[in-house]
């Protein structure tokens, strides 16, 4: 019995070692998408197989302004999330947790209408949080965590 346990432990340790060797959890990759802001943050940081996505606003990529159309603002946020994930070889389906901050909770259904179109049948865990005013007059800000 002891021999089996020792062999199983040795095999598990060997497999775990090879997984950690392939995916060094201490390595970091910082993603900075082209943007007009020089704010002191990265759009995301990849640590091992986990990607931490910074808060995103729905800025129009051409004007760097918040659009007047609520659905367009939501689309800009989600397109930005998708682009940041793409920089590290991930898709929207890699998201496991999302937080959406909203300055006007009456926009909940409008946001959901757009949000649904970016996913298949399965959605990441999500919090939709009523907030005070957001930067630049945004109605939404979204951050998330994705895992490969």
User: pLDDT tens digit string along 56-94?
Assistant: 999 999 999 999 999 999 999 999 999 999 999 999 999
Return the pLDDT at 100: 98
- Within a domain: residue 79? yes
CATH of residue 111: 3.30.1330.40
- Within a domain: residue 8? no
Listing DSSP states for 5-74 in one string gives HHHHHHHHHHHHHHHHHHS-TT-EEEE----S---S--SEEEETTEEEEEEEE---TTT-S--SSHHHHH
- Within a domain: residue 31? yes
- Within a domain: residue 12? no
Domains: count for the chain: 1
Return the pLDDT at 21: 38
Return the pLDDT at 60: 94
| Coil, helix or strand at residue 77 | helix
119: left (phi over 0), alpha (psi -120 to 50) or beta: beta
Note the pLDDT tens digit of each residue in 20-57. Answer: 335 566 789 888 876 556 778 888 999 999 999 999 99
Name, in order, each residue with C-beta under 8 angstroms of 18's C-beta and a sequence gap of 6 or more: none
Domain ranges, residue 87: 24-147
- Within a domain: residue 16? no
- Within a domain: residue 40? yes
Return the pLDDT at 26: 72
Rounded to whole angstroms, what are the CA distances from 45 to 13, 85, 86, 88?
Answer: 28, 10, 13, 9
User: How many Å apart are CA 143 and CA 100, to the nearest integer?
Assistant: 7
- Within a domain: residue 14? no
Name, in order, each residue with C-beta under 8 angstroms of 92's C-beta and a sequence gap of 6 or more: 78, 81, 82, 85, 118, 119
User: Where is average pLDDT lowest: 9-13, 29-33, 57-61, 115-119?
Assistant: 9-13
Name, in order, each residue with C-beta under 8 angstroms of 125's C-beta and a sequence gap of 6 or more: 96, 97, 98
């Amino acid at each position: 019995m002891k021999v089996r346990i020792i062999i199983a432990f040795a095999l598990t340790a060997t497999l775990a070692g090879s997984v950690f060797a392939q995916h060094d959890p201490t390595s970091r990759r910082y993603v900075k998408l082209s943007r007009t802001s020089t704010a002191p943050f990265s759009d995301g940081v990849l640590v091992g197989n986990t990607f931490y996505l910074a808060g995103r606003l729905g800025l129009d990529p051409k004007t760097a302004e918040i659009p007047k159309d609520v659905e367009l603002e939501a689309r800009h946020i989600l397109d930005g999330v998708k682009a940041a994930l793409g920089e590290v070889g991930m898709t929207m389906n890699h998201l496991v947790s999302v937080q959406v901050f909203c300055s006007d909770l009456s926009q909940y259904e409008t946001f959901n209408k757009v949000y649904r179109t970016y996913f298949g049948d399965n959605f990441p865990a999500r919090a939709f949080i009523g907030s005070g005013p957001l930067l630049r007059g945004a109605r939404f800000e979204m951050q998330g965590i994705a895992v490969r």
